[in-house]
Structure 1
C-alpha cells in the first residue's frame, strides 16, 4: 500500500512538471514547458501573503510575466485561457507597468494543493501578484490553470457592440462604466452577444439587469451575490469596495442602463 502511494505521489509530481504554456504575442505562437520556465535565470521564489485562489499565504517559484512579453505594446490586452476554457482579460499596461503591482507567472514545479475537495490545483501555471493593491488588481485578474496567453486588441475594438454610443465624453459616467465592465465583468459575461466569456449570462440580451432589478439591487448583487440569490453552485464572487469602488459601481450601472437602450444582436 505504501509503495502504491509513493508511486502515485511520484506520478502526480511528474505531471506537475510536464505541462506546457502557449504564448502568442502576435508574431506566432511559441510553447514554453515547465522545465524551460524553471531554468530561466529570472525565476525566483516569491511569497504571496493573501493568495486569491487558496485564500492564504503561499510560496511559489515564479517568473516575472513581463519578461515573457517582449515587444508587447501597453495598449494591448492579454487573454489568459485556462484548461477548462475560462478566459480572463487583463490590460497589458497593468502587467508591463502596474504602478507598483507586480505580475508573476507561478510555475507548478511540484504538486500544489487542491483548490478544494475533488478539485485540481491552481497549476500548471497561475498568474499571481505582489502588491496588487498598488494597481487595483481585482480577483478576476488572478487566472489559474493557465494553458495559453494571447496578445489581442482591446475589447472595444474586437467587440464593437459593447461600445457605448459615439460622441460621449471619455470621462462621462457611461464611458467610465465601460472601463469598469472591461476590467471586472468581461471575464464572465458577454454583452449584446459579444465576448469570449462562457460562465455568466449576457448582461443585455434578452434584458439588462438594470431592467429587471429594482433600484439599488444591482449594487447588492455585485457586493454579495448570495445576499440577493442564495445558490450554493453560484460562481460569481463578491466584489468589495476595495475592488470596485462605490463610484465605479455607480458608473457601471450607468453603462448598463445606457446599453439597455442600445440593444443589438450580433
Structure 2
C-alpha cells in the first residue's frame, strides 16, 4: 500500500510535458506523449457546453479517440484506467462512431494547464475522455473518465468476472439483468463486487455485505441520489446519480441486481 501511494504521488508530480498515454491494444499497442498528441494531424479545439468533471463550459485541445484505436473493432471491449485506480469499462462501438455522440481524447497542454478539480486536487489531465453531443448517444457521466493513464483492450466484463453474473436461470427481460448492465456502466469503474473487478477506488459492494443488507431501502435510494446529503465527510468522492442520469426505473433495476447478488456471495 505504501509503495502504491508513493507511486501515485510520483505520477501526480510529473511535469505535464512528460505525460504518456499507454494504448494496450495487442499488436497495435503504442505510447503517445502529450506533445505528440497535441500536434496530431487531427487535433483541434473543442468546446464542451457542460463538462462532467468541471461542471461548467470548457474548451480543450482534442484528438478523435477513434483515430488512436488502431485495430479496434466495434465488437471489442476497452477499459480506461486512471491514475487513481478508477477503471471505466467501455464497449468499443460508441467510441469508434463519428457521431452524433462522438468521443474525443482531451490533452492537457503544459503551457496552458487545466484548472484543479477542487482545492488540493489535481486537474482532470493529463488525458480526459470527453464527448460532443453526448445526449444523442445516451452517454453517462461514468463514460467521461479523466486523469487517464492507460486504455486497453480486454475481454468483456462477463468473460473476465463471472462472479458478477446474476443467476443464469433468470428470464432475459428480468430487471436484475438490466441492473447488471447498469452496474457495469455506473458502478464498476469505482467498485468491485464479490471481489471481482479491476477498480481500486471504492469498497466492494457485496463482500462482506451488500448495501441492500445494511441500508434501509429509502435511505439507500437517497444515498445513491445524493451521497453527501446523507453521509458527509471531506474525503468523500462518490458522485450523486440524479434522475437525469439514472431514472427511477433504472434505479429500481440496479437495486434489484444488488439485492439479487446479496444472495450470490462467494
2:80–2:148 contact (8 Å) kept in structure 1:
yes
The equivalent residue for 1:31 is 31
Q: Write the distance in 1 (CA, Å) between the matches of 2:208 and 2:85.
A: 24
Other structure's SS at 2:94 match: helix
Q: Write the distance in 2 (CA, Å) between the matches of 1:210 and 1:85.
A: 25
* In the alignment, structure 1 residue 167 sits paired with structure 2 residue 169: yes
Deviation at 1:98, TM superposition (A): 8.0
Deviation at 1:99, TM superposition (A): 6.0
Deviation at 1:167, TM superposition (A): 2.4
Q: Give a deviation string over 1:22-47, Cα, whole Å, max 9, x none.
A: 10123253111122212222111000
Q: Write the distance in 1 (CA, Å) between the matches of 2:208 and 2:146.
A: 31
The equivalent residue for 1:248 is 250
Which residues of 2 match residues 106-145 of structure 1 at below 5 A?
Answer: 106-109=106-109, 110=111, 111-145=113-147
1:86–1:198 contact (8 Å) kept in structure 2:
yes
- Which of 201, 205, 208 aligns to 1:206? It is 208
The equivalent residue for 2:199 is 197
Deviation at 1:177, TM superposition (A): 0.4
The equivalent residue for 2:52 is 52
Q: Give a deviation string over 1:208-234, Cα, whole Å, max 9, x none.
A: 111111222221111111222222321
Deviation at 1:205, TM superposition (A): 0.8
The equivalent residue for 1:4 is none
Q: Write the distance in 2 (CA, Å) between the matches of 1:218 and 1:97.
A: 36
TM-aligned CA distance change 1:37 to 1:206, over 3 Å? same
The equivalent residue for 2:264 is 262
2:65–2:95 contact (8 Å) kept in structure 1:
yes
Name whichever of 109-118 and 138-147 sits farther off: 109-118
Other structure's SS at 2:59 match: strand
The equivalent residue for 1:6 is none
The equivalent residue for 2:69 is 69
Other structure's SS at 1:161 match: helix
* In the alignment, structure 1 residue 180 sits paired with structure 2 residue 145: no
Deviation at 1:86, TM superposition (A): 2.5
Structure 1: 4+ residue segments shifted above 3 A: none
Name whichever of 36-45 and 80-89 sits farther off: 80-89
The equivalent residue for 2:6 is none
Q: Write the distance in 2 (CA, Å) between the matches of 1:246 and 1:93.
A: 27
Q: Give a deviation string over 1:127-168, Cα, whole Å, max 9, x none.
A: 111111122222222111111110111111100000011122
Which structure's CA Rg is the greater one?
Answer: 1
The equivalent residue for 2:94 is 94
| Paired positions, count | 251
Q: CA RMSD in A?
A: 1.8
1:193–1:205 contact (8 Å) kept in structure 2:
yes
Q: Give a deviation string over 1:63-100, Cα, whole Å, max 9, x none.
A: 01111113323233221112233222222122123862
The equivalent residue for 1:157 is 159
Q: TM-score, normalised by structure 2?
A: 0.88
The equivalent residue for 1:8 is none
Other structure's SS at 1:17 match: helix
1:137–1:243 contact (8 Å) kept in structure 2:
no
